[in-house]
Structure 1
């Protein structure tokens, strides 16, 4: 007789051991695909967590049996289970890596052990060692149930050897348990019982009891807190009614909804050009097989208004919508606008939410309460069942790509979801990625163009300030004279300014005037950055920091000098020049606390500050009508990075930040400071001429065989031993070459390396890289997966981590 079997992907499985394992389903256990289970795994049958991928039948009676069903209903539907397979093959990760990325952290279980005291110890308790008695007392105080990690922490122990001894001696009992990180939030409710009418007949009640019963008869049910508030009684009155059987308590789930400032609801009116784009997109949205579209328009052209109207249409059709933005900083303005129109139908997804809020927003979406999900790249996993539209605003931004496992690109997952639901995927940008614009021009994507700024707003005038000339006249500060003049004029007229410097800290590096050595992090091959707020030198990679001192650790001389400018120094300098100015700084250091993005941007929008100094988080998507001046303090360091995207990223950032100026009724101005004013990228960004930039860049990409003319896969090697890591990189390349010669001769491939990574050491781990220019198809991915599985089984290199990353953020 065939046994009912679940095919389970197991948590923490290594890549060459990652596949669906067969487990027999116990009689009466309602296991479904998408549910999580606890299963015995490996030779020792240690309990592990897994996700059920599918259900089937097998004749084999020797299969291990599922221990426990962790979910009463599936946490992943058919679409998400299919996406697990898609991510496994495209992101070179395990099934459970994909599952972990999809689910909010608060819903995840961890398997652990619980300890309980074995029965009544009686007089034996007094014969136990002092430490054993202490442990028994602690466990009994916790209702005779204590989780191992909590117990060890309370006892101040690093391992559980003493607990194991007590278990062997029969004092304690140990059992497996599955613990969820965050529980559901509930509120204590009260209602009249089904027998209340019979029980109340002839019963004498106090005046306070009658007031509670009258309230519950009217409203049906209410929270105990509300009952006490509206009737003026204490909780003892409801307790008495429950004890008499007249009322009953029950728990009602409530959602932890993140709070954002609401904006005023405004009707969106489209211009003729916007209406044309909207009509074209509506036609695509209504078609049987919508395709990918690009909404391309200059900064301030009202792209948001166009896709807002499209969202209105989708919601009216009872379709679900995902709106993605690249930065947390952009969500408050977007959410305020959407909540004003759609109220509680809007859910929020980003990393600044608490675990409880993330869990409850996920549940509001999965239960159909919310119809629109707004957030950063994690919003692509919003568990909608009826998707009609996905929008990626500022689609060119690198933050849509994950740098940690699983290394997914939200664009690719959005395409997968839209294909599954036959939904429209809309990219929106003033500076689309070169790949996206190429596909739009080639007809693979639809293109809809906006050429004019919305309303009476016009593009700002742009001035390129040559900092070499400033040095020649003795100005060695961070600000050119022309920028200072314009800031002063803005302060006099009550208008606001934004200053961009894409480096945080006070000084970007420290060198010794005697030996010329820079101060570097001992754990990373990177220079330390000086932070004036805590007077420390800090590493932005591993977090290492030391107090600042003038003595050089290399030569002993007191000749250390701070060099370079970060946002902290820029803030201090401008405050010294304009002491009357109200200055706000926004960078990673000032936006660590919860809701800090929203609070700071709201304060700036309300006119509480005159000048906003910040990194790239102030450069994109923000709309402040009173900002009429933008200053870029240093355009050069972004241009000359060792990456084929450096020109594209610089052009995009400059264009975007210049576009923050003059979005209201007043004419805007932008000033770009540079030591290389002759660089054509700077002048093209000043002219906001994306088409000319694209024509130049696409020719270089084609000649050098970079995307979109080839895909790029980076194979990374990370280990604590530099020589072993290097040997692993070269052996991998050698084995891959043999595999290509024998089984994959048809794959077109260019191999660069292996070589040291640009930042060779991070957190005391050495890094090598192998760059592959390839065609990203099933054949290539099969080859890479074969290599990763084969190489991970070599014991000599068990301490070296090897990973593959398609479309890496940097090389």
Structure 2
């Protein structure tokens, strides 16, 4: 009699304790086929639900055990290392293991079966052919025609072979039934990016800096060591070529490589480069692909057919078994942070995976995040590798600041400064191209005095106040409020402005001011269709437009040799966002967008329009001086006790009933206060509850609590106690709670 088996199952049911498993008996019919990682149908509370098998043993651990009903999928959906990753994500980001696992294996949960194609070959041996030909010529000439076609064109499909022979498909079937044709069935994978022409595969000569960078990245791989390398390279310094050379080495060593890019708009040009170098070894993963395309790419990766993975944030979860190299290009970008549960950061997941596989993690950026760069300083745990010069001896673009307060005093209250319009007309006359960047991130409620440039800020938090419809200004960290003034508190002017300008308005006014200009716009509205990103960028690169107007998606990674001018409409929108990272994001965006010009034979120019020209992040961006910005921003963060000098967690409560949301948030704050008992000398700062900056979204009211501490272990201990007590369950009927560890924004 066969030994009885029991399976531990994580159920896909809400309201169950985050990591609880339930034991089920494995019926005899499944004893030989059931494996770790299978999804199964099970009875649960009078219902039939699905769950994941995460353990199999011969020991019964509970009295009442029900049988597994059956397999939900033919093959297991995940390996043990993927389950370990899910458990780590659940523990670090305070979510259920099931939610983390669902995120990791999302493409196979939404699978659309790949098409299998049957191809036909002649099965007769050379010695048999003369007799077979004689027989078919006498009795079945159509069959002979099919056999000859299979000899001349091996590997045709059923329909192709019949057409080539001038016969019906039934004749092909008869020959296959007789064994004269051999049928081979292969999976046809959907490829969203056809392979480029060989002409695209151009090998470039590395600069001395690039050679040293490649050597520094590969050194730990040769020694079988894990390491994190911060590749700090100015825009146009050739970081992508360094990535490609390192990947070549990893492939020769029989390992896999994963490259992440922050924007879907960057994916097509990177795919072109990667496929030109590595061909069909490249698999692509991002959210704009269909479920079927993602499933096919996932299966190619899992089977080992595609050892090079390229994609956006979720590509860090790709099923590579031995990642020797993981690359985060533009590692500072906040799009690497997932805004839905599990709220993981791709950088943290990449670090975990690189550690487990003894691989190398490369963090590449011209404007590294403060959290990463401080770890790369002397005595830090990362290795700093610098690319300080652009390739081919190209110079960094000259940057000019336009003080919009002066423009106002001169009677120009429009979007465009006079110097920027003059430069645009000059570039148009010289048949050169320009990019107009609209820094739109943030609310349209920035309160600025247009006379003196004063931005109204919270006296407690040094964070800009946000204007609300009730006529009051509010701090979204500590809930400080004050009535919106009619006069500027500093200079007494009535020129109080509430700013917010859209790309459509910019495009319309630009067309009116420069009628001869051919203008393209790249934003969320113009790129909703699949492939529209690349169509717009290709048209611009091919000279079909003079000016490209866009938002953040044009600020990084794009290589447009014809662009000699970049104009930034308003640097102040992100500069004065209600977020402690506002200065950092402004510096990063300005530096990155400035890097889009001067990448060809002609030097580039950048004009930045701002009401706060004296701000250190704007000044540092004009000089392309990351170190000066880093020094000043770090001093401010240290004074305020903000990351990277502390760890931060945000709790967000949402619901349709504002009163219930507020009361639940207040109750959660009381619970946190009860757990916040740290050893002497340690301290946790907890602010709120307060309305989130986006206080109502999709008919849901939103209140949040923010906790941070320099004692990282103490903060985690408090959060673990809180998680253990609440289980992450909804704090009330019709309410939702989300926990965001290391939040990248508090909007």
Q: Same fold (TM over 0.5)?
A: yes
Contact 1:188–1:224 at 8 Å: present in 2 too?
yes
In structure 2, what is the Cα distance between the partners aligned to 1:57 and 1:797?
41
Q: CA deviation at 1:715?
A: 1.1
1:346 aligns with 2:289: no
TM-score, normalising length from structure 1?
Answer: 0.80
Q: CA deviation at 1:794?
A: 8.3
Contact 1:10–1:18 at 8 Å: present in 2 too?
no
Residues 1:86 and 1:245: Cα distance change in structure 2 (over 3 Å): same
1:37 aligns with 2:40: yes
In structure 2, what is the Cα distance between the partners aligned to 1:301 and 1:451?
7
In structure 1, what is the Cα distance between the partners aligned to 2:363 and 2:501?
35
For residue 90 of structure 2, what is the aligned residue in structure 1? 88
Q: How does 1:144-543 map to 2 (within 5 A)?
A: 182-190=112-120, 202=135, 204-217=138-151, 221-241=155-175, 251-260=185-194, 262=196, 264-441=200-377, 442-503=379-440
In structure 2, what is the Cα distance between the partners aligned to 1:687 and 1:445?
26
Calculate the aligned-residue CA RMSD, in Å: 3.0
TM-score, normalising length from structure 2?
Answer: 0.86
Q: How does 1:760-775 map to 2 (within 5 A)?
A: 760-774=695-709
1:54 aligns with 2:55: yes
Contact 1:34–1:75 at 8 Å: present in 2 too?
yes
> 1:216-260: per-residue Cα shift (whole Å, max 9, x none)?
356654312321343344434324545777657675320001125
Q: CA deviation at 1:433?
A: 0.2
In structure 1, what is the Cα distance between the partners aligned to 2:221 and 2:165?
53
Residues 1:259 and 1:59: Cα distance change in structure 2 (over 3 Å): closer
Residues 1:451 and 1:246: Cα distance change in structure 2 (over 3 Å): closer
Contact 1:188–1:251 at 8 Å: present in 2 too?
yes
In structure 2, what is the Cα distance between the partners aligned to 1:458 and 1:274?
17
> 1:128-162: per-residue Cα shift (whole Å, max 9, x none)?
xxxxxxxxxxxxxxxxxxxxxxxxxxxxxxxxxxx
In structure 2, what is the Cα distance between the partners aligned to 1:253 and 1:259?
17
- Residue 638 of structure 2, aligned match among 663, 677, 702: 702
Residues 1:199 and 1:447: Cα distance change in structure 2 (over 3 Å): same
Q: Which runs of no fewer than 5 residues in structure 2 stay unpaired?
A: 447-466, 470-496
Contact 2:641–2:710 at 8 Å: present in 1 too?
no
Secondary structure, counterpart of 1:638 in structure 2: helix
For residue 4 of structure 1, what is the aligned residue in structure 2? 5
Secondary structure, counterpart of 2:574 in structure 1: coil
Contact 1:788–1:802 at 8 Å: present in 2 too?
no
Moved more, 303-312 or 628-637: 303-312
Q: CA deviation at 1:55?
A: 1.9
Contact 2:18–2:727 at 8 Å: present in 1 too?
no
In structure 2, what is the Cα distance between the partners aligned to 1:288 and 1:435?
26
Q: CA deviation at 1:655?
A: 0.3
Tell me the number of residue pairs that the alignment of Structure 1 and Structure 2 aligns: 689
In structure 2, what is the Cα distance between the partners aligned to 1:679 and 1:502?
16
Moved more, 616-625 or 72-81: 72-81
For residue 557 of structure 2, what is the aligned residue in structure 1? 621
Moved more, 398-407 or 191-200: 191-200
Residues 1:260 and 1:641: Cα distance change in structure 2 (over 3 Å): farther
Moved more, 198-207 or 748-757: 198-207
Contact 2:432–2:563 at 8 Å: present in 1 too?
yes
> 1:437-465: per-residue Cα shift (whole Å, max 9, x none)?
11111421100011111112100111111
1:798 aligns with 2:733: yes
Contact 1:403–1:809 at 8 Å: present in 2 too?
no
Q: CA deviation at 1:740?
A: 3.6
Contact 2:18–2:96 at 8 Å: present in 1 too?
no
Contact 2:18–2:97 at 8 Å: present in 1 too?
no
In structure 2, what is the Cα distance between the partners aligned to 1:422 and 1:526?
51
Residues 1:259 and 1:793: Cα distance change in structure 2 (over 3 Å): closer
Secondary structure, counterpart of 1:100 in structure 2: helix
Moved more, 745-754 or 673-682: 745-754
Contact 2:675–2:721 at 8 Å: present in 1 too?
no
Q: CA deviation at 1:367?
A: 0.9
Q: CA deviation at 1:665?
A: 1.6
